[in-house]
Amino acid sequence: MATQWEMVVGLEVHAQLLTRTKIFCGCSTAFGAPPNTHVCPVCTGLPGALPVLNRQVVEYALMAALATHCTVARMSRFARKNYFYPDLPKGYQISQYELPITERGYLDITDDDGAPKRVGITRIHMEEDAGKLLHPEHAGADYSLVDLNRACVPLLEIVSEPDLRSSREASQYARKLREILVYLGICDGNMNEGSLRVDANVSVRRLGDPTLGTRAEIKNVNSFRFLEQALEFERDRQIERIEDGGQIVQETRLFDAERGITLSMRSKEEAHDYRYFPDPDLLPLVIEPEWVERVRAALPELPDAKRARFQREYGLPDNDTELLCQSRADADLFEETVRLGVPAKTAANWLIGSVLPERGKESSVGYAFDKAPQFIADMHRLIEQGAISANLAKNEVIGLWSSGKTAEAIVAEKGLAQISDTGALKAIVDAAIAAHPKEAEAFRGGKTQLLGFFVGQVMKQTQGKANPGVVNEMVRRKLGS
């Protein structure tokens, strides 16, 4: 029988924090500025420049720690991680090492069988980002450029235990972590811009073997799909290597998204290679328990709790709850709509069908999403009052929620008002019946399922504006049923 293999994965996630200024200086963290315009002596590492810790970074780290059930250290320390690279002018990165701000938390996911599973979080620490190298691609370019705008931008590094056992578990963990950070409002979660980057550590072992295999670390995977692809490729590569009698070497690898494979980048450095030591320019960080409690009290409702509450309070299908709770802003839109008197399922349908899909679309820049709840509530009221048919509301009105006009104004302007007046409908109903004598005869003879046919005729004549309930009643009466 072929050996059963098990994949073991631990993730290191780097999250760029949404502070206005950098972690050790007052420079702006804004993305996309012209190169080297957000720099100063501190973040460019000029001799003698001294770092000053940004309090907001610590507060954000505390939020992440509490949201992932970590224990906050009363005292932690910054350390220098020494290495040379052109995007790191100081020659060291300020990080945390033996005393991180927080340790030993967890995050709950489901395993591949759908059973609940708790994934350990080893530690979360604060550090500064490095700059960025640009490699010009024009013909003959044989140089690289350095942009230090990103140098000294605050990061959290969130390290998981090697608890993940499949590519699906790993991407689910990363997704949930991203969701929490975005909910907390401390990271924008934008993987394209590198605000969230994942390093995946992977090893394999024979099923039942308690010892961990030698791992490879796949650097900077920038989408959840790539993460799954990279892990699956790497698992197969390692199993094949071992089955062929070879050995896995501890190394850093890169994922080539175009070819769907991982490639060796360099042999993995060990912690002692970095010559970590406490940064003499920064005092030990002491956090009073009162601060932690203040942060805890101010935490927003987190995604899992919100989903559970939505399920309880609104009784929506799982799928609706999932879609509405993808962001705090969307969940808020839903609750506001319900507060304005729209039944939960109706509110969910309108929002999921016509409002949430516009999120993030370039064409919706400037859309006032916060106007959607009132618009939906107005439209719902118009339908309830019989002032517009549900069908026309869905096909002609809802799409205009961001137009700045009220639902009422749109109904009037487009002439969509529902015709419920029997006087106005009488001639149309009579004509429909007169035009189809055979069907009328059959209806009178008991083929009452033809009711829909006649109502359909009237709807066609009125471009959908006739009130179907009223027409129903009129046709029945006219044909004597």
Inter-CA distances, 287 with 67, 77, 235, Å: 17, 11, 42
| Number of residues counted as binding Mg ion (CB under 5 A) | 1
Least separation, in Å, of the C-beta of 216 and ligand ADP?
Answer: 9
Q: Directed axis angle between helix 372-384 and helix 328-339, to 10°?
A: 30
Least separation, in Å, of the C-beta of 187 and ligand ADP?
Answer: 19
Closer to Zn ion by CB, 25 or 351: give it.
25
Stretch that binds Mg ion, among 12-20, 101-109, 227-235, 405-413 (CB under 5 A): 12-20
Binding to ligand ADP by residue 265, rule CB under 6 A?
no
- Closest by CA to 189, choosing from 223, 229, 166, is 223
| Number of residues counted as binding ligand ADP (CB under 6 A) | 17
Question: Are 17 and 186 in contact, with CB atoms under 8 Å apart?
Answer: yes
Closer to ligand ADP by CB, 147 or 157: give it.
157
Q: What angle do CA 102, 30, 99 make, to 5 degrees?
A: 15
Stretch that binds ligand ADP, among 2-10, 29-37, 239-247, 412-420 (CB under 6 A): 2-10
Question: Are 304 and 312 in contact, with CB atoms under 8 Å apart?
Answer: no
* Beta strands 285-286 and 75-76, pairing class: antiparallel
Phi and psi torsions of 124, nearest 5°: -130, 125
What's the CA gap between 331 and 342, in Å, rounded? 15
- Give the length of the chain: 481
Question: Which residue in the block uniquely carries the two structure tokens 């420079």?
Answer: 27
Least separation, in Å, of the C-beta of 13 and Mg ion?
Answer: 11
Binding to ligand ADP by residue 201, rule CB under 6 A?
yes
Stretch that binds Zn ion, among 37-45, 188-196, 247-255, 405-413 (CB under 5 A): 37-45
Q: According to CB under 6 A, which residues from 12 to 51 bind ligand ADP?
A: 12
Binding to ligand ADP by residue 68, rule CB under 6 A?
no
Question: Which of 379-388 are b and which e, b meaning 16 or more Cβ less than 10 Å from the residue's Cβ?
Answer: bbebbeeebb
Binding to Zn ion by residue 94, rule CB under 5 A?
no
Stretch that binds ligand ADP, among 153-161, 175-183, 273-281, 466-474 (CB under 6 A): 153-161
Give the x-and-dash track for 268-287 against ligand ADP (CB under 6 A): ---x----------------
- Joined tokens for residue 146: 């350095």
Closer to ligand ADP by CB, 189 or 213: give it.
213
Which residues of the chain form contacts with Zn ion (CB under 5 A)? 25, 27, 40, 42-43
Which residues of the chain form contacts with ligand ADP (CB under 6 A)? 8-12, 159-162, 201-203, 212-213, 215, 217, 271
